């Protein structure tokens, strides 16, 4: 019995809209928290720490049981939710609410939830006498209810607001309903605290996981936008908090029932919008930021009006109570700027935006570029060709070196001079006979390209490079000293950010390749290496390099990235579609956002055109078939009618021929006597004419006579 009493008891906690960004992540976190865990010492807070993983583990005994609603009525119950409420009216919803120990309403994402939250707390308040178990009501509101608050000291506007100042808060004009809901919740919690205790959490702008309000920044950076947009002058201070830290605040309130009823939830930073945008741009994008006016920002389709208002808020706040009285295992206490790499990793992992790295090798004219172009289009990857890599690197160095001769070199830091010297070294190392660049320089160009943000974000496909094992070793060598030392012992040191996950080798014999090139149109071959002489020279070089055991394929084999060999001589499909499909099957699904709205519209348009074309073709074929059948039927009808007429004619002629002797016989032997008998019968008109005629014929039979 004693053991049973020591076991932690679970509590039912209601969370609205568990399919929204905040509702989902708070529910996930809370579902892994043991009731009362935040009251224990720091080392016993592993329950909350386990939520840093995106994998939902089996809940421990005594955890909170999450009950929730969803915005999507057709949503299936997620694993982290004990019960998903489906209701037709508020009475049915209320029946579920009164069964819960804690009710959490988030009104920051969906304005429609404000009325429902006010209704829920009001109903609980009106039923205080009927309620047996004590209830806790937590309203997650927004710092936008403080947006127009006057500074605590007009001479020093940088003094931050704290929970003690909540009565002085003034809302943004578009968030008046939120502050009204806050006041209602606080008021209803004062009547009978033993039965109903209420809290309001003024949350900073949330970030982390798949991102919400800042998602437009992360998405633009991941898609390699030339720059990220910063609204206004960017000097406004934005209160923010990691979504898991906000969930930890809710956990602490649920566990400890603090005396303070109004709490501010934010991290320990006062970052400006410009600092946030720069951090995302440098960590995930090009590093460039462009200031745009508020009017231009309103024209953006990526940012809604409510988000726009929050991004322009200018508030200095301190979460004094949270920092001093709550046991929180902070995920991002130092803010988004200091933890940008962790936040970016979380964003990529949650949205499954992992780079896809592929290498396709093979002899000249085996169709590498044809296959790669289609794969790049399907997977939205970057096609890395040796000529393009060298040209881009040389162009960049030339552009940078030209600044050395210009007068404006204030912000250059000597980069232009270094580029000029490097360009001279590269040109001097160039082979004067073949015009080829030194391998070491080409490797450097490749490393810079593969380490660039576009390749690190989406991924890439290497086209026929590296060609040798030595090139592969230099290209994929790890620059991390610790990792190199550790991996060197096993012979497996390589740069994980560049090493291809999938390696394919297109195989074909020399005769097949020669025949393929000879059948190419002159317009395609002209000006390239794909004439017969150029092909044979490149084939000889390829066979020489790949004739011993030290091939580039052996390198990948040693690193446990086993190349997939594909015989292209069997592929007779247009544009090598069969080979492309085999590679797609091996790689799997894309790891990106999927088609853009424009691409989806184009796909729908193409599908509609294909459907219409198919229906038109089927209709034309059906009409043609029906016309042919009608013509055939008409022809057969005419033939049948003609044959029928011929048969009738033959029958008539036959009957005519057969009836002539009979007519002659009747006319000679029967008709004269019969005719006379009929005439006499008409004259006499006997009572029994038949008997009269029979008697007449008997008496006047010529044969008797």
For position 116, which CATH number holds? 3.40.50.720
Please count the structural domains in the chain: 3
**Could you tell me if 668 and 691 lie in one domain?**
yes
- pLDDT at site 412: 54
Q: What is the mean pLDDT of residues 202-216?
A: 94
What is the rounded distance in angstroms from the CA atom of residue 355 to the CA atom of residue 496?
Answer: 11
- pLDDT at site 338: 94
Residue 704 above 60 pLDDT?
Answer: no
Residue 188 above 50 pLDDT?
Answer: yes
Q: Are strands 240-242 and 102-106 parallel, antiparallel or unpaired?
A: unpaired
10 Å CB burial of residue 72 (0-12, 13-18, 19+) is exposed
Confidence grade of residue 170 (pLDDT, cut at 50, 70, 90): very high
Which one of 587, 612, 632 terminates a domain? 587
**Could you tell me if 579 and 601 lie in one domain?**
no
Q: Is residue 300 part of a domain?
A: no
Instruction: State the CATH number of the domain containing residue 414.
Output: 3.40.50.300
Q: Is residue 345 part of a domain?
A: no
Proportion of the chain above pLDDT 90, given as a percent: 56
Which of 238-247, 388-397, 424-433, 521-530 is the most confident on average? Answer: 238-247
**Could you tell me if 79 and 107 lie in one domain?**
yes
**Could you tell me if 113 and 189 lie in one domain?**
yes
- Give the tens place of pLDDT for each residue, 282-303: 999 999 999 998 888 877 777 7
**Could you tell me if 566 and 672 lie in one domain?**
no
**Could you tell me if 677 and 627 lie in one domain?**
yes
pTM: 0.79
Confidence grade of residue 419 (pLDDT, cut at 50, 70, 90): confident
Asked whether 443 and 471 are in contact (CB, 8 A), the reply is: yes
- pLDDT at site 1: 41
- pLDDT at site 438: 85
**Could you tell me if 571 and 651 lie in one domain?**
no
- pLDDT at site 48: 41
- pLDDT at site 130: 86
Asked whether 154 and 210 are in contact (CB, 8 A), the reply is: no
Residue 58 above 60 pLDDT?
Answer: no
Which of 90-99, 298-307, 588-597 is the most confident on average? Answer: 90-99
- pLDDT at site 522: 61
Residue 154 above 90 pLDDT?
Answer: no
Q: Is residue 323 part of a domain?
A: yes
**Could you tell me if 504 and 581 lie in one domain?**
yes
Angle in degrees, 0-180, between the axes of helices 215-222 and 273-284, rounded to the nearest 10: 30
**Could you tell me if 259 and 398 lie in one domain?**
no
Q: What is the mean pLDDT of residues 267-295?
A: 92
Cα within 13 Å of Cα(121), Cβ side:
31
- pLDDT at site 434: 73
Confidence grade of residue 409 (pLDDT, cut at 50, 70, 90): low
**Could you tell me if 620 and 540 lie in one domain?**
no
Q: Are strands 12-15 and 102-106 parallel, antiparallel or unpaired?
A: parallel
- Residue numbers of the domain that contains 519: 357-587
Q: Is residue 284 part of a domain?
A: no
**Could you tell me if 560 and 692 lie in one domain?**
no
Which one of 523, 554, 587 terminates a domain? 587
- pLDDT at site 705: 46
Q: Is residue 494 part of a domain?
A: yes
Q: Could you tell me the two tokens for 107? A: 């009104």
**Could you tell me if 550 and 620 lie in one domain?**
no
- Give the tens place of pLDDT for each residue, 465-490: 999 999 999 999 987 655 545 454 44
Q: Average model confidence (pLDDT) for the chain?
A: 86
- Give the tens place of pLDDT for each residue, 361-381: 999 989 999 999 999 999 999
The residue whose two tokens read 């660039």 is 452
- pLDDT at site 454: 92
Q: Could you tell me the two tokens for 514? A: 């020669």
Q: What is the mean pLDDT of residues 70-88?
A: 91
Q: Is residue 296 part of a domain?
A: no
Q: Is residue 302 part of a domain?
A: no
Residue 2 above 50 pLDDT?
Answer: no
Proportion of the chain above pLDDT 70, given as a percent: 90
Q: Is residue 280 part of a domain?
A: no
- Give the tens place of pLDDT for each residue, 643-672: 999 999 998 888 888 888 888 888 888 888
Which one of 587, 622, 646 terminates a domain? 587
Q: What is the DSSP string of 212-273?
A: STTHHHHHHHHTT-SSEEEETTS--B--EEEHHHHHHHHHHHHHH--S--EEEE--S---BH
């Amino acid at each position: 019995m004693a053991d049973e009493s020591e076991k932690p008891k679970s509590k039912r906690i209601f969370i609205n809209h568990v399919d929204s960004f905040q509702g989902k992540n708070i529910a996930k976190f809370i579902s892994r928290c043991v009731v009362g865990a935040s009251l224990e010492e720091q080392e016993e807070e592993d329950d909350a720490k386990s939520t840093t993983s995106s994998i939902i583990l089996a809940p421990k005994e005594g955890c909170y049981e999450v009950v929730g609603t969803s915005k999507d009525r057709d949503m299936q119950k997620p694993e982290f939710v004990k019960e998903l409420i489906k209701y037709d009216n508020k009475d049915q919803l209320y029946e579920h609410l009164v069964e819960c120990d804690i009710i959490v309403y988030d009104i920051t994402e969906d304005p429609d939830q404000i009325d429902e939250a006010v209704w829920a707390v009001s109903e609980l308040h009106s039923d205080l006498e009927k309620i047996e178990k004590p209830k806790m009501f937590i309203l997650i509101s927004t710092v936008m209810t403080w947006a127009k608050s006057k500074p605590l000291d007009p001479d020093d506007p940088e003094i931050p607001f704290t929970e003690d100042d909540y009565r002085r808060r003034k809302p943004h004009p578009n968030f008046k309903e939120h502050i009204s809901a806050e006041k209602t919740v606080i008021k209803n919690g004062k009547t009978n605290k033993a039965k109903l205790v209420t809290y309001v959490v003024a949350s900073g702008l949330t970030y982390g996981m798949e991102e919400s309000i800042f998602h437009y920044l992360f998405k633009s950076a991941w898609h390699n936008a030339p720059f990220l947009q910063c609204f206004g002058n960017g000097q406004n201070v934005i209160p923010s908090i990691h979504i898991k830290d906000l969930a930890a605040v809710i956990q602490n309130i649920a566990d400890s029932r603090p005396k303070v009823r109004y709490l501010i939830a934010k991290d320990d930073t006062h970052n400006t919008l410009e600092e946030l945008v720069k951090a995302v741009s440098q960590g995930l994008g090009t590093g460039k930021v462009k200031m745009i006016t508020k009017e231009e920002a309103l024209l953006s389709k990526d940012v809604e009006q409510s988000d726009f208002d929050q991004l322009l808020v200018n508030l200095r706040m301190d979460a004094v109570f949270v920092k001093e009285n709550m046991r929180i295992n902070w995920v991002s206490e130092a803010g988004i700027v200091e933890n940008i790499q962790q936040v970016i990793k979380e964003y990529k992992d949650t949205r499954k935006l992992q780079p896809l790295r592929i290498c396709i090798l093979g002899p000249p004219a085996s169709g590498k570029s044809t296959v790669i172009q289609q794969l790049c289009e399907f997977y939205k990857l970057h096609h890395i060709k040796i000529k393009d890599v060298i040209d881009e690197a040389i162009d960049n160095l030339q552009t940078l070196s030209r600044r050395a001769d210009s007068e404006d070199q204030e912000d250059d830091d000597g980069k232009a001079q270094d580029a000029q010297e490097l360009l001279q070294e590269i040109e001097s190392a160039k082979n004067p006979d073949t015009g080829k660049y030194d391998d070491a320089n080409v490797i450097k160009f490749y490393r810079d390209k593969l380490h660039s943000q576009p390749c690190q974000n989406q991924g890439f496909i290497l086209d026929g490079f590296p060609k040798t094992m030595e090139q592969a070793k230099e290209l994929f060598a790890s620059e991390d000293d610790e990792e190199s030392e550790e991996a060197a012992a096993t012979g497996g040191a390589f740069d994980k950010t560049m090493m291809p996950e999938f390696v394919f080798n297109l195989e074909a014999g020399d005769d097949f390749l020669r025949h393929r090139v000879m059948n190419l149109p002159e317009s395609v071959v002209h000006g390239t290496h794909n004439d017969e002489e150029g092909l044979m020279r490149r084939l000889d070089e390829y066979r020489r390099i790949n004739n011993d055991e030290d091939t580039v394929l052996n390198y990948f084999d040693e690193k446990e990235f086993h190349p997939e060999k594909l015989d292209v001589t069997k592929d007779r499909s247009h544009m090598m579609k069969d080979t492309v499909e085999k590679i797609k099957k091996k790689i799997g699904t894309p790891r990106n956002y999927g088609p853009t709205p424009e691409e989806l519209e184009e796909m729908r348009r193409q599908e509609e055109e294909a459907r219409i074309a198919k229906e038109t073709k089927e209709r034309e074929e059906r009409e043609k078939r029906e016309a042919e059948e009608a013509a055939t039927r008409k022809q057969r009808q005419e033939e049948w009618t003609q044959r029928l007429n011929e048969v009738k004619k033959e029958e008539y002629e036959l009957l005519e021929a057969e009836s002539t002797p009979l007519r002659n016989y009747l006319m000679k032997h029967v008709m004269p006597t019969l005719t006379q008998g009929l005439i006499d019968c008409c004259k006499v008109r006997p009572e029994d004419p038949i008997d009269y005629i029979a008697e007449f014929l008997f008496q006047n039979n010529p044969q008797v006579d």
